[in-house]
Structure 1
Amino acid sequence: MSDSSEDGSGSEDATEQPPSEGYIGSGVSPADIAFETLLTDVCCHPTRDTVAIATVDGDVFVHSYSMDSASRELLHLTHHRTSCRKLRFTADGSILITASKDKSLCMVDLNSSAVPQRIPDAHSAAIYSLCIMDQNLLASGDDDGHVKVWDRRRNNCIMDCRESEDFISDLAVGDNRRVLLATCGDGTLTAFNLRQRAMELQSEPCEDDFLSLALLKHGRRVVVGAGDGSVNVFNWGRWGNLADRLVMGRSQAIDSLAAVTEDHFCMGTADGHVRVGSIGPNKCLGLLGTHGRFPVESLSTSRDKQLLASCSHDQRVKFWDISYVDCLRPRNHDFFATLEESWTDQFDFQ
């Protein structure tokens, strides 16, 4: 999330530049949703064809989307004073949780449009990242390196750790809900043991910011997007060292990541492009689409994993067909490399 997304700069028209690599698909997708302000985050509903959008003004919108008709605004919320940086649905889709630069966390009841729970000073610094762990627990990270875990039933913090002094860019939790992962602007990946409510291990610092995070291979692989345009791969439980590094061949930061299948992920980069990559073998497969030259702030998969939503400084939410991604293979696909990857997976434990 760049500074320009919150000070109103970067909203002027940008000339779309032709990408150096080819497009890998052009399936049917819903029409763009246009706004009159800068967008900071997008999140698809887990059970319905609706999407939530956060804005730099603090407003939150919920829209429907469809292949057959234009999107429709379902909800417009104004409960934040400053930029709404992150928003996430609970697993059943009944609650929308929003996090703001004003340091607050809010829980929105989508059935009534009310805000029954609010934590006005959840952090001492602006909140940067948000993760829904289960129906009751959520995690948040701020600009000063604090990571907190909250119990919505008691509306209080049950874990507060600070193992970094830079911003917490992204958060993710393993399937067993025992380990919380946090990427940081200081170039580290930190694993927190949720039972002990303390840090388990932190990776060696990399030279560039760690900006985004996704889990693949049924949680056995962790991919981290960096400020130098590389994708760093960690094996689950082995947080100290990189297992592999995918160099994109360009220096554009990977601001957002989304797991599409267990083997494929999409990445949004600072040059405005949305690309597809794979794990096992670790490759960049090609270009899915573009927002012109504006950085891609956020990515989110639809409820059925057939569409990808993206938002950028061009004030639009775009949708991309990803139904075919699981069939993609690198042009120089190495059968024996894949076989070796599969063999290695058998000995990875969460």
Structure 2
Amino acid sequence: MPDIPCGGQIFDLAFHPTRSTVYTGLLTGEIKAFGYDEQGNHETSFTLRPSKRSCRSLEISQNGDHLWAVGKGKALHTIDTTIGKVSESRKDIHDSPINRVKRLMPHMLATGDDDGVIKLWDPRKPDVLREFTHHFDFISDFLWLEDKKQLVATSGDGTLSVLDVRSKKTKPFAQSEDQEDELLSIVPIKGASKIVVGTQLGILSIFNRNKGWGDCVDRVPGHPSSIDALCSLPSSYPSSHSTILTGSSDGLLRAVQLLPTKLIGVIADHGSFPIERIAIDRGGEGRWVGSAGHEEVLKLTDLNEIFEDEDKNEEADETSEDGEKDKGEDEEENQELEDLSKTIEPANASDDDHQDSDVPTGKKRQYKQEKDVLAGRKKRGRNEVEAEPSFFSGL
């Protein structure tokens, strides 16, 4: 699909959960909505500017009727997407510029600012529900754990914290040790049993929920630059439980498999412009991944072209391997018949012939082992390389 020019640097993007519409928040404070189709055509749905300050973060409601926007202006703007108008603006809800907004439940939002303050809101009520001040640097990202009704926040102070939104306490449920690096992005893998965090130094830190939040259990180095954005794959892909998309400040959008570690390929290239945000349409279950950098252009990439080609290559490898296996079995059977015929003695054979003849041993058929699809393929598919944990170092 052709790139969508936005006329300004994009700070964040959000897709409508059911329609082919993408919303972008710009440095100029504008919010632009674009409709797109599978043929690569796009058109502007609406443009509005609720603030003259930059729009840093966007969040969409569950049904897509409302869009929330926050930014440097310290306000929370609610936009009615059905008419493209601002329906409500709450001014000065934070003392510092707001960096992130996240919808937790139908009637609960979370906002995080540059000073590390996190606030919970009910859009139906004017006052804040709770405020948390345990972080002392900017809030970089949020992750909502639906099973436990917990909010995980990453911060530039080097720690992540877990908030139980059902509790009325203003202290976190848990907080990690100092990871000695800025934590910039967060995404779940393995059915949310493990959490991956992107860092300023280009390391993916993996936390295991079963072992607590005190420290990461694994670190995957290799990205040459900071990992500013992370995103899960749609659940329709077989490898979605362990494969994520990473947006780095080197301008490359990568598909990376974890545990074991393997670089699937480069999905999009923004050149020298760092990637700030990535998201997948249709509530994270669609085919288009949007990535935004500093080049004032929204890139939409078709995931099916990447991963369906991988599946086809894998099927072709399996078919080729099965054919070789069948051919080998036929050759073995012919050899067995030939060996067996040599052991049948003529009726007038002498005793010496009996003594000199070999004892038939019967050749044991050798089968190839079943292919382990998790161990990788014999042939390399397009956009895929086999790599060690330091696989990014040469990129």
Whether these two folds match at TM > 0.5 is: yes
Q: Which has the larger radius of gyration?
A: 2
What is residue 268 of structure 2 aligned with on the other side?
289
More strand by share: 1
Partner of 1:273: 252
TM-score by length of 1: 0.82
Question: Which residue identity is paired with 2:21?
Answer: T
- TM-score in terms of structure 2 length: 0.73
Where in structure 1 are there 5+ consecutive unaligned residues?
Answer: 1-29, 336-350
Look up the equivalent residue of 1:228 and give its one-letter code. L
Per-residue CA distance 1:178-221 (angstroms, 9 max, x = gap): 21000000111111111224301111111211001112222212
Paired residue type of 1:235: N
1:317 aligned partner: 298
Letter in 1 for 2:62: A
* Alpha-carbon offset, residue 42 of structure 1: 1.2
**Hey, which of these two has a bigger chunk of helix by percent?**
2
Show structure 2 runs of 5+ residues with no match. Answer: 234-239, 315-371, 377-395
Are the counterparts in 2 of residues 90 and 134 from structure 1 also a CA contact under 8 Å?
no
Tell me the residue number matched to 2:39. 68
Higher relative CO (Cα under 8 Å, sequence separation at least 6) belongs to: 1
Per-residue CA deviations over 1:240-274 (Å, capped at 9, x if unaligned) read 111211112x4300011111133221011001110
In the alignment, is the contact (CA less than 8 A) between 1:224 and 1:233 conserved in 2? yes
Between the aligned partners of 1:101 and 1:246, the Cα distance in structure 2 is 33
Matched, 1:91 2:62: yes
Q: Aligned ranges for residues 152-171 of structure 1 at < 5 Å?
A: 152-171=123-142
Letter in 2 for 1:247: P
Paired residue for 2:20?
A: 49
Say if 1:300 and 1:308, in contact at 8 Å, map to a contact too: yes
Give yes or no for contact 2:159–2:176 (8 Å, CA) kept in 1.
yes
Q: What does 1:224-303 align with in structure 2 at a 5 Å threshold?
A: 224-236=197-209, 238-248=212-222, 250-260=223-233, 261-303=240-282
CA deviation after TM superposition for structure 1 residue 75, in Å:
0.9
Greater mean alpha carbon deviation, residues 260-269 or residues 295-304: 260-269
**2:278 is equivalent to residue 305 of structure 1:** no
- Secondary structure at the counterpart of residue 218 of structure 1: coil
Relative to 1, partners in 2 of residues 1:325 and 1:84: Cα closer, same or farther, differing over 3 Å? same
Measured in 2, the distance between the counterparts of 1:145 and 1:306 equals 34
1:201 aligns to 2:174 (yes or no): yes
Partner residue of 1:77 out of 48, 51, 59: 48
**Contact 1:225–1:257 (CA<8 Å) still a contact in 2?**
yes
Are residues 1:131 and 2:105 paired?
Answer: no
**Over 3 Å off, 4+ runs:** 324-329, 331-335
User: Do the aligned partners of 1:271 and 1:293 also contact (CA within 8 Å) in 2?
Assistant: yes
Change (3 A) 1:251 1:208: farther
Aligned-residue CA RMSD (Å): 2.0
Aligned residues: 304
